[in-house]
């Protein structure tokens, strides 16, 4: 059968036969209607509640059979008609073949590869994130039906991008907890679908928690003990995971390799059982990062025996081991009395329930809700167009002197395209990617608008010498405009590879400066990177007229870059991370997890706490038009209902900070109406960021400001749109004290919406007396 993305040349009859055959390619996982020994068993009865079906199935399994289901490559149980299953698939920004559960080939040669998450996060567009999730899950289900993928995807990565050197920061939605949590909830909803308790695919938020070091200065993720305060855990590191579970209703959470305060996360009942499942109410399973259980036994030496490690993990709340460890040692842990079989049953309840919610015990896949999805639904034109749109929305315009951009196809007929990333393809999809449907490189994209003169200037991003500078300078001298496409790739920042600094690698800076000096026309810099780059030199160079940050823009990245450069699309992205100067890293250990600055020269982390100089701030991003904000309506005083207490003043009203648990939160929110006027000559989509600064903002432990909400609004030229903004008081205007307790500061909060500032005063309104 031809490996092609288009089936249009096939006859209608053959297409129907192919689709039917593709859907039949997936063997029935369990409860096969043709299997007379199992089809009438209670766990196969779709009319029974899933809870009853799971209980019936577990009751039929031996201990050894149960243990064989505790690992990612779960073994078949032929005795009850269950086939083997590979739990590990990835879908960070498109269906990926990183995990063994997914493979490309045959009628599935590739899948739509969206921009890397850090780029998509820059769109600040929750509806886009959910739409991408829907497309990815369509393609995942189609590949599952064709026997080429699983239904459990260990994505998204919602760790906080705390230190700019982190190699995996590109996988995350950035440095802000609310942004990361909103991304998590939206993408998960898109992946998992909206069919009640049923799942389209099962998503997984990872890596819980305080995981953001891979390999820095001799410290790796397998041995790192993250020393984290209760305050930072509550108000930073755990926020995206809490939102993912409570708002996104994610079906899985992955614990990380590292220890937190001396305890491996995958063996910590306070994190897994008490917090994720107890406080947040996870309806799903908890999985280890791959070989994490083996790591905390073999590398961290947390337990004396492997059986103790297996017992500790399962009793802490781990349900599934990515790796062989639990499969090898759990049965002996039970025999030695370290673990009860009921503990194993509890883990299986969580994994089997998710499989049943996915329909894996409902018989023939083709007869189910998503059973008709097939090859025609992978890489379809609408999906590829969304990948292009996502890249356009995520690209950030950092600088535009003049303005020089957009370029004109009439005035800039010849463009020199220079730089080590100028004609890349695979670089654009970053890591945890699959095989793309096809690529448009920057050179190809620009070539659709102008005649191009192409020179690399550097052989690769390492740019170890200047031997190719000459031809690049000649190209710049001849062209009407010069576009330099430079930056990083997976050789510089990746899983297991943290950066050592923030400057451009090798001789890239020298290349940029010399090309800009030689260029006949305007010079535009386009940066590909996940993490921030100190490009102060380019920001301050008057010969460099414009700067774009493209992140890793996905399969259609080159087309999106060109559309922005030539004005077919109007940029609207905003930086999801602070861009620090190289000096920021002076004496700054990646291993210091503190978010807040200290009095001994520690600068603090992210825009919420760092007050020093930046190259570009969080939320920075220009556009080809101009938007003006006006506050149409907003309250100046909001009463917060508070329960009184018989014993003591535990609400701490006298100190003007009320415990969230003592307030009657409900739907207590502040509603703003903001008029956004486009006073420019181009239609544009505006990213409305709303920050709040709490009272006593001068205190070190209080954020100087924090993002509370954001909206995306399209405004035609010379017109106005009114945007309604809701700010949940308890969730978004609260702060966390040094004991890790979330409180609502009474007094005047300052809301920042672009250049507009509005003060709103919160005051406590005491209700009936309750016991402390």
Supply angle C-alpha 491, 494, 500, rounded to 5.
75
Using DSSP bridges, classify how beta strands 657-659 and 742-745 pair: parallel, antiparallel or unpaired. antiparallel
Long-range contacts of 490-494 (CB under 8 A, 24+ apart): 490/427, 490/430, 490/431, 491/460, 491/461, 491/462, 492/461, 492/462, 493/166, 493/167, 493/169, 493/170, 493/529, 493/530, 493/531, 494/167, 494/168, 494/431
| Distance, CA of 164 to CA of 380 (rounded, Å) | 36
Tokens of residue 77, six digits: 């149980």
Q: Identify whether 207 is preceded by a cis peptide bond (ω within 30 of 0).
A: yes
Encode 534-549 in three state secondary structure: CCHHHHHCCCEEEEEE
Phi/psi of residue 241, each to 5°? -70, -40
Closest CA to 72 of 152, 137, 156, 191: 152
| Distance, CA of 322 to CA of 421 (rounded, Å) | 35
Q: Look up residue 634 and give its DSSP letter.
A: -
| Distance, CA of 156 to CA of 756 (rounded, Å) | 34
Using DSSP bridges, classify how beta strands 735-736 and 657-659 pair: parallel, antiparallel or unpaired. unpaired
| Distance, CA of 614 to CA of 582 (rounded, Å) | 10
| Distance, CA of 746 to CA of 744 (rounded, Å) | 6
Query: Is there a contact between 483 and 417 (Cβ–Cβ < 8 Å)?
Result: yes
Tokens of residue 311, six digits: 């017992």
| Residues assigned a catalytic role | 289
In angstroms, the Cα distances linking 585 to 538, 579, 612 are 20, 12, 12
| Distance, CA of 2 to CA of 106 (rounded, Å) | 7
Phi/psi of residue 557, each to 5°? -55, -40
| Distance, CA of 767 to CA of 663 (rounded, Å) | 9
Phi/psi of residue 59, each to 5°? -65, -15
CA atoms within 13 A on the CB side of 601: 7
Query: Is there a contact between 686 and 679 (Cβ–Cβ < 8 Å)?
Result: no
> 599 in helix, strand or coil?
coil
Closest CA to 462 of 416, 431, 432, 497: 497
Burial of 346 (0-12, 13-18, 19+ CB in 10 A): middle
Closest CA to 145 of 33, 22, 254: 22
Taking the CB of residue 639, how many other CB atoms lie within 10 A of it? 11
DSSP output for 364-393:
-GGGSTTTT--GGGSS-HHHHHHHHHHHHH
H or E element: which one contains 352?
A: helix 341-357
Can you list the positions of beta strands (E) in 15-117? 73-74, 85-86
H or E element: which one contains 394?
A: helix 381-394
> 153 in helix, strand or coil?
strand
Phi/psi of residue 367, each to 5°? -90, 0
Residues facing 762 on adjacent strands:
638, 747
């Amino acid at each position: 059968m031809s490996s092609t993305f288009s089936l249009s040349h096939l006859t209608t009859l053959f297409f129907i036969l192919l689709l039917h055959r593709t859907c039949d390619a997936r063997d029935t996982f369990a409860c096969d209607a043709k299997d007379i020994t199992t089809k009438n068993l209670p766990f196969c009865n779709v009319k029974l509640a899933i809870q009853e079906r799971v209980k019936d199935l577990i009751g039929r399994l031996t201990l050894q059979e149960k243990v064989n289901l505790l690992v990612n490559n779960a073994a078949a149980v032929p005795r009850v008609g269950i086939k083997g299953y590979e739990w590990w698939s990835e879908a960070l920004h498109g269906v990926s073949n990183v995990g063994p559960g997914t493979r490309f080939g045959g009628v599935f040669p590739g899948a739509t590869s969206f921009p890397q998450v850090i780029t998509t996060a820059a769109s600040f567009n929750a509806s886009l994130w959910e739409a991408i999730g829907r497309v990815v899950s369509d393609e995942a289900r189609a590949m599952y039906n064709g026997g080429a993928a699983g239904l459990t995807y260990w994505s998204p990565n919602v760790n906080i991008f705390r230190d700019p050197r982190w190699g995996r920061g590109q996988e995350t939605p950035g440095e802000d907890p609310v942004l990361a949590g909103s991304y998590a909830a939206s993408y998960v909803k898109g992946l998992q679908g909206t069919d009640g308790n049923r799942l389209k695919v099962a998503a997984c938020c990872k890596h819980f928690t305080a995981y953001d070091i891979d390999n820095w200065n001799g410290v790796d993720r397998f041995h790192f003990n993250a020393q984290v305060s209760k305050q930072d855990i509550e108000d930073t590191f755990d926020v995206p995971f809490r939102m993912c579970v409570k708002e996104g209703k994610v079906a899985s959470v992955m614990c990380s390799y590292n220890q937190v305060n001396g305890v491996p996360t995958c063996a910590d009942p306070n994190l897994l059982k008490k917090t994720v499942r107890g406080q947040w109410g996870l309806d799903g399973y908890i999985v280890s990062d791959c070989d994490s259980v083996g790591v905390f036994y073999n590398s961290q030496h947390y337990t004396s025996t492997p059986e103790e490690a297996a017992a500790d993990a399962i009793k802490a709340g781990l349900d599934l081991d990515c790796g062989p460890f639990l499969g090898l040692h759990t049965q002996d842990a039970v025999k030695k009395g370290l673990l009860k079989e009921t503990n194993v049953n509890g883990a299986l309840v969580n994994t089997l329930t998710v499989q049943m919610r996915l329909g894996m015990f409902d018989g023939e896949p083709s007869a189910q809700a998503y059973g008709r999805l097939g090859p025609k639904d992978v890489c379809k034109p609408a999906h590829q167009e969304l990948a292009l749109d996502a890249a356009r929305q995520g690209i950030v315009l950092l600088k535009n002197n003049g303005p020089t951009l957009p370029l004109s196809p009439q005035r800039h007929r010849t463009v020199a395209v220079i730089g080590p990333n100028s004609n890349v393809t695979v670089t654009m999809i970053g890591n945890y990617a699959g095989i793309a449907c096809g690529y448009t490189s920057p050179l190809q994209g620009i070539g659709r608008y102008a005649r191009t003169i192409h020179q690399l200037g550097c052989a690769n991003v390492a740019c170890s010498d200047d031997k190719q500078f000459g031809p690049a300078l000649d190209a710049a001298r001849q062209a009407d405009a010069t576009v330099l496409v430079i930056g990083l790739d997976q050789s510089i920042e990746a899983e297991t590879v943290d950066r050592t600094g923030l400057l451009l690698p090798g001789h890239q800076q020298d290349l940029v400066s010399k090309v800009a000096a030689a260029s006949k026309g305007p010079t535009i810099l386009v940066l590909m990177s996940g993490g921030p780059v100190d490009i102060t030199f380019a920001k301050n160079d008057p010969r460099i007229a414009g700067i774009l940050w493209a992140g890793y823009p996905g399969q259609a990245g080159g087309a999106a870059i060109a559309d922005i450069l030539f004005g077919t699309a109007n940029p609207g992205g905003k930086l999801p991370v602070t861009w620090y100067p190289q000096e920021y890293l002076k004496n700054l250990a990646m291993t210091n997890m503190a978010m807040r600055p200290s009095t001994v020269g520690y600068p603090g982390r992210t825009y919420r706490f760092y007050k020093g100089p930046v190259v570009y701030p969080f939320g920075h991003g220009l556009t080809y038009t101009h938007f003006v904000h006006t506050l149409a309506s907003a309250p100046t005083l909001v009463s917060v209902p508070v329960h009184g207490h018989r014993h003591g003043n535990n609400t701490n009203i006298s100190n003007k900070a009320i415990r969230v648990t003592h307030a009657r939160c409900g739907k207590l929110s502040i509603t703003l109406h903001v008029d956004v006027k486009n006073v420019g000559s181009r239609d544009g989509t505006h990213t409305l960021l709303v920050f709040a600064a709490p009272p006593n903002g001068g205190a070190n432990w209080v954020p100087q400001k924090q993002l509370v909400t954001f909206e995306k609004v399209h405004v035609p030229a010379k017109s106005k749109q009114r945007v309604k903004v809701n700010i949940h008081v308890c969730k978004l205007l609260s702060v966390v004290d040094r004991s890790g307790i979330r409180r609502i500061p009474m007094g005047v909060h300052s809301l920042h919406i672009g250049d507009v500032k509005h003060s709103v005063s919160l005051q406590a309104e005491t209700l009936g007396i309750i016991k402390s």
